[in-house]
Amino acid sequence: MKTPNRIAPLVALTFAALLATPAAWALPKIKVLATGGTIAGAQASQADAGYKSGSFSVEDLIKAVPQLKDLAELSGEQIANIGSQTMNHEVWLKLATRCNELLGQNDVEGIVVTHGTDTMEETAYFLSLVVKSDKPLVLVGSMRPATAISADGPINLYNGVALAANPEAKGRGPLVVLNDTIHYARESQKMHTTRMDTFHSPNRGIAGMMNTGKAFFYSQNTTRHTTKSEFSVAGFTTNDLPRVEIVYSHVNLGGETIDFLASQGVKGIVLAGVGDGNSTDAVLAALERAVKKGVAVVRSSRVGSGVVDRNVEVNDDKLGFLAGMELNPQKARILLMLGLTKTPEVKQLQQYFLEY
């Protein structure tokens, strides 16, 4: 007697059900928004230490990593093609607007932004405050140009696309991925001029690790960002962003630069102070004069990590200063700029530095 085959119909049924469910076979739709940087850079020759950022287009970048087609259905847009040392508010507004538009579409599951590493942490933090979506948004770059020996761009892009397509990356705010490491936008910081392990998250630690496209998250992002951020640049032009400048402290610094900035009508000054956000008596006196003229002053630190808290060595209450808390000067500039679009009140501005 023939034994009835009970397995075959089950296999056939499961296979038919899988085929009938588009989600089971459709790859996630991911957009690559390219802005330039070394990842798109070319050298004159392979042994050349010099190179030009932004030499390749977004299509070139995608084509250079054929394995990407197994991860996602990709399409690219060129937002800019610049070295990120020339990143500017105009490109930021264009990028933020495009991220909001695309992430608002049902057919886009995530975005990868390719970007130079010099100012990547600033763009990532800006986007974390003004993009209104919990879908994955990942920034990738490279330390070696596309034409270099052992270029790191292809693996970084591969990891970036894999992460943007990963539901685990949702709700974490923009992520920075380089050198197999995932950083939260607010924590990320470029800390070496040339090495591939240049990005660190010195205060709260890294978000996780990548292993050839596989993500391992180690921590949660507990600060306010994206859908929980109250800041928006919808409808903004660059004139809507108040001018905030950074002054770098050092031995023997005088107050002239600060007096000059205040006379030019800047709305905010961030002190990249020594140690715990401190400076010379002349600088503190000039900052006090600036506050009296209506300039918002934030004390941050040039040391690269740690917290600048209120009223430790400097009497912020008396002088009318804000403490930058965990933000480095370049990120404190961004939060102060966006904060000033909402209020000039010191108490409320300080609250932003505690929450974002």
Phi then psi dihedrals of residue 247, to 5 deg: -115, 125
Among residues 30, 31, 33, 38, which is the contact residue for ligand GLU, using CB under 6 A? 38
Which candidate in 38, 117, 223, 226 is catalytic?
38
Least gap, CB of 113 to ligand GLU (angstroms): 13
Only one of the segments 83-91, 92-100, 305-313, 343-351 lies at the binding site for ligand GLU (rule: CB under 6 A); that segment is: 83-91
Among residues 109, 118, 187, 316, which is the contact residue for ligand GLU, using CB under 6 A? 118
Whether 45 contacts 51, CB under 8 Å? no
**Site size for ligand GLU, by CB under 6 A?**
11
Least gap, CB of 328 to ligand GLU (angstroms): 17
208-211 and 214-217 beta bridge pairing: antiparallel
Least gap, CB of 215 to ligand GLU (angstroms): 22
Least gap, CB of 280 to ligand GLU (angstroms): 32
Among residues 28, 110, 116, 136, which is the contact residue for ligand GLU, using CB under 6 A? 116
Among residues 28, 83, 255, 277, which is the contact residue for ligand GLU, using CB under 6 A? 83
Least gap, CB of 117 to ligand GLU (angstroms): 3
Q: What is the arrangement of strands in the sheet containing 268-273, beginning at the earlier edge strand?
A: 244-248, 268-273, 296-301, 322-323
Only one of the segments 115-123, 244-252, 295-303, 304-312 lies at the binding site for ligand GLU (rule: CB under 6 A); that segment is: 115-123
Among residues 117, 189, 226, 300, which is the contact residue for ligand GLU, using CB under 6 A? 117
Q: Which of 150, 169, 154, 152 is nearest to 214 (CA)?
A: 169
Treating both helix axes as pointing N-terminal to C-terminal, what angle do 120-130 and 329-340 enclose, rounded to 10 degrees?
30
Q: Which of 35, 94, 91, 88 is nearest to 234 (CA)?
A: 94
CA atoms of 279 and 284, how far apart (whole Å): 6
Count the neighbouring beta carbons within 10 Å of the beta carbon of residue 14: 10
Whether 190 contacts 176, CB under 8 Å? no
Q: Does the annotation mark 114 as catalytic?
A: no
End-to-end CA distance of the chain: 73
Is 61 a binding residue for ligand GLU by CB under 6 A? The answer is no
Least gap, CB of 36 to ligand GLU (angstroms): 6
Whether 94 contacts 127, CB under 8 Å? no
Asked whether the CA dihedral 56, 189, 247, 261 is positive or negative, the reply is positive
CA atoms of 188 and 182, how far apart (whole Å): 9
CA atoms of 200 and 31, how far apart (whole Å): 26
Among residues 84, 229, 249, 300, which is the contact residue for ligand GLU, using CB under 6 A? 84
Is 141 a binding residue for ligand GLU by CB under 6 A? The answer is yes
Among residues 96, 127, 143, 314, which is the contact residue for ligand GLU, using CB under 6 A? 143
Phi then psi dihedrals of residue 126, to 5 deg: -60, -50
Smaller CB distance to ligand GLU: residue 116 or 329? 116
CA atoms of 38 and 20, how far apart (whole Å): 43
- Residue with smallest beta-carbon separation from ligand GLU: 116
Least gap, CB of 76 to ligand GLU (angstroms): 18
Is 166 a binding residue for ligand GLU by CB under 6 A? The answer is no
Binding site for ligand GLU (CB under 6 A): 37-38, 53, 83-85, 116-118, 141, 143
* Residues taking part in catalysis: 38
